[in-house]
Amino acid sequence: MAIKHQQETDLAPQKVLIDPPAMWRVVLLNDDFTPMDFVTTVLQTFFAMDYERATQIMLKIHTEGRGICGVFPKDVAATKVSEVTHFARQHQHPLQCIMEIR
Ligand code: TYC
Protein backbone atom coordinates (compact mmCIF):
# COMPACT_ATOMS: atom_id res chain seq x y z
CA MET A 1 0.00 0.00 0.00
CA ALA A 2 1.41 3.39 -0.97
CA ILE A 3 1.49 6.34 1.44
CA LYS A 4 0.67 9.80 0.17
CA HIS A 5 0.87 13.11 1.98
CA GLN A 6 -2.22 15.27 1.78
CA GLN A 7 -2.10 18.61 0.00
CA GLU A 8 -1.27 21.77 1.92
CA THR A 9 -4.84 22.55 2.99
CA ASP A 10 -4.42 20.93 6.42
CA LEU A 11 -2.48 22.43 9.29
CA ALA A 12 -0.74 19.21 10.19
CA PRO A 13 0.30 16.89 7.36
CA GLN A 14 -1.74 13.71 7.41
CA LYS A 15 -0.89 10.38 5.86
CA VAL A 16 -3.57 8.86 3.64
CA LEU A 17 -3.34 5.22 2.65
CA ILE A 18 -4.07 4.77 -1.04
CA ASP A 19 -4.43 1.40 -2.73
CA PRO A 20 -2.78 1.09 -6.12
CA PRO A 21 -5.45 0.95 -8.85
CA ALA A 22 -6.75 -2.53 -9.61
CA MET A 23 -5.45 -3.63 -13.00
CA TRP A 24 -7.52 -5.41 -15.65
CA ARG A 25 -6.42 -7.63 -18.51
CA VAL A 26 -7.92 -6.98 -21.92
CA VAL A 27 -8.22 -10.33 -23.71
CA LEU A 28 -9.07 -11.28 -27.30
CA LEU A 29 -10.78 -14.62 -27.95
CA ASN A 30 -10.27 -16.78 -31.03
CA ASP A 31 -13.12 -17.50 -33.46
CA ASP A 32 -13.36 -19.20 -36.86
CA PHE A 33 -14.44 -16.15 -38.88
CA THR A 34 -12.50 -12.98 -38.06
CA PRO A 35 -9.64 -12.62 -40.60
CA MET A 36 -6.11 -12.86 -39.22
CA ASP A 37 -5.07 -9.54 -40.78
CA PHE A 38 -8.05 -7.80 -39.11
CA VAL A 39 -6.92 -9.03 -35.67
CA THR A 40 -3.36 -7.90 -36.40
CA THR A 41 -4.72 -4.46 -37.33
CA VAL A 42 -6.74 -4.33 -34.07
CA LEU A 43 -3.63 -5.10 -32.02
CA GLN A 44 -1.63 -2.40 -33.81
CA THR A 45 -4.39 0.22 -33.70
CA PHE A 46 -5.78 -0.19 -30.17
CA PHE A 47 -2.82 -1.72 -28.31
CA ALA A 48 0.12 0.15 -29.91
CA MET A 49 1.91 -3.01 -31.07
CA ASP A 50 4.22 -3.05 -34.07
CA TYR A 51 3.36 -5.42 -36.95
CA GLU A 52 5.70 -8.19 -35.77
CA ARG A 53 4.42 -8.21 -32.18
CA ALA A 54 0.79 -7.95 -33.33
CA THR A 55 1.26 -10.94 -35.66
CA GLN A 56 2.90 -12.96 -32.87
CA ILE A 57 0.01 -12.25 -30.44
CA MET A 58 -2.64 -12.89 -33.14
CA LEU A 59 -1.11 -16.33 -33.88
CA LYS A 60 -0.95 -17.11 -30.16
CA ILE A 61 -4.69 -16.33 -29.85
CA HIS A 62 -5.40 -18.40 -32.99
CA THR A 63 -3.58 -21.48 -31.60
CA GLU A 64 -4.30 -21.17 -27.85
CA GLY A 65 -7.85 -19.76 -27.98
CA ARG A 66 -7.21 -16.47 -26.21
CA GLY A 67 -4.49 -13.92 -25.59
CA ILE A 68 -3.76 -10.88 -23.40
CA CYS A 69 -3.54 -7.62 -25.34
CA GLY A 70 -2.59 -5.42 -22.39
CA VAL A 71 -3.18 -4.63 -18.71
CA PHE A 72 -4.87 -1.35 -17.75
CA PRO A 73 -6.82 0.46 -15.02
CA LYS A 74 -10.51 -0.47 -15.13
CA ASP A 75 -11.80 2.57 -17.06
CA VAL A 76 -9.07 2.31 -19.71
CA ALA A 77 -9.69 -1.45 -20.12
CA ALA A 78 -13.45 -0.87 -20.48
CA THR A 79 -12.83 1.76 -23.17
CA LYS A 80 -10.54 -0.64 -25.10
CA VAL A 81 -13.19 -3.39 -24.96
CA SER A 82 -15.87 -0.98 -26.15
CA GLU A 83 -13.77 0.48 -29.00
CA VAL A 84 -12.50 -2.90 -30.25
CA THR A 85 -16.01 -4.41 -30.15
CA HIS A 86 -17.46 -1.42 -32.03
CA PHE A 87 -14.67 -1.57 -34.64
CA ALA A 88 -15.19 -5.33 -35.15
CA ARG A 89 -18.99 -4.98 -35.53
CA GLN A 90 -18.55 -2.07 -37.96
CA HIS A 91 -16.63 -4.53 -40.14
CA GLN A 92 -19.14 -7.38 -39.53
CA HIS A 93 -16.63 -9.55 -37.63
CA PRO A 94 -17.64 -11.56 -34.53
CA LEU A 95 -14.34 -10.88 -32.70
CA GLN A 96 -14.80 -11.08 -28.91
CA CYS A 97 -12.86 -8.70 -26.64
CA ILE A 98 -13.28 -9.06 -22.86
CA MET A 99 -11.71 -7.74 -19.67
CA GLU A 100 -10.84 -9.63 -16.48
CA ILE A 101 -9.29 -8.56 -13.20
CA ARG A 102 -5.64 -9.51 -12.86
N1 TYC B 1 -9.02 -18.00 -36.13
C2 TYC B 1 -9.11 -16.88 -37.05
C3 TYC B 1 -8.88 -17.39 -38.48
O4 TYC B 1 -8.40 -18.49 -38.68
C5 TYC B 1 -8.08 -15.79 -36.73
C6 TYC B 1 -8.31 -15.15 -35.40
C7 TYC B 1 -7.21 -14.88 -34.56
C8 TYC B 1 -9.57 -14.74 -35.00
C9 TYC B 1 -7.40 -14.25 -33.35
C10 TYC B 1 -9.79 -14.13 -33.77
O11 TYC B 1 -8.87 -13.23 -31.74
C12 TYC B 1 -8.69 -13.87 -32.95
N13 TYC B 1 -9.21 -16.56 -39.46
pLDDT band for position 9 (cuts 50, 70, 90)? low
Q: How far apart are the first and last CA of the chain?
A: 17
Residue 80 CA, ligand 1 centroid: distance in Å: 18
pTM (2 d.p.): 0.86
Cβ atoms of 15 and 3 closer than 8 Å: yes
> What pLDDT, in 10s, does the model give residues 66-98?
999 999 999 999 999 999 999 999 999 999 999
pLDDT band for position 15 (cuts 50, 70, 90)? confident
35 lines ligand 1 (CB under 6 A): yes
66 lines ligand 1 (CB under 6 A): no
> What pLDDT, in 10s, does the model give residues 35-73?
999 999 999 999 999 999 999 999 999 999 999 999 999
Residue 22 CA, ligand 1 centroid: distance in Å: 29
Averaged confidence pLDDT in the chain = 91
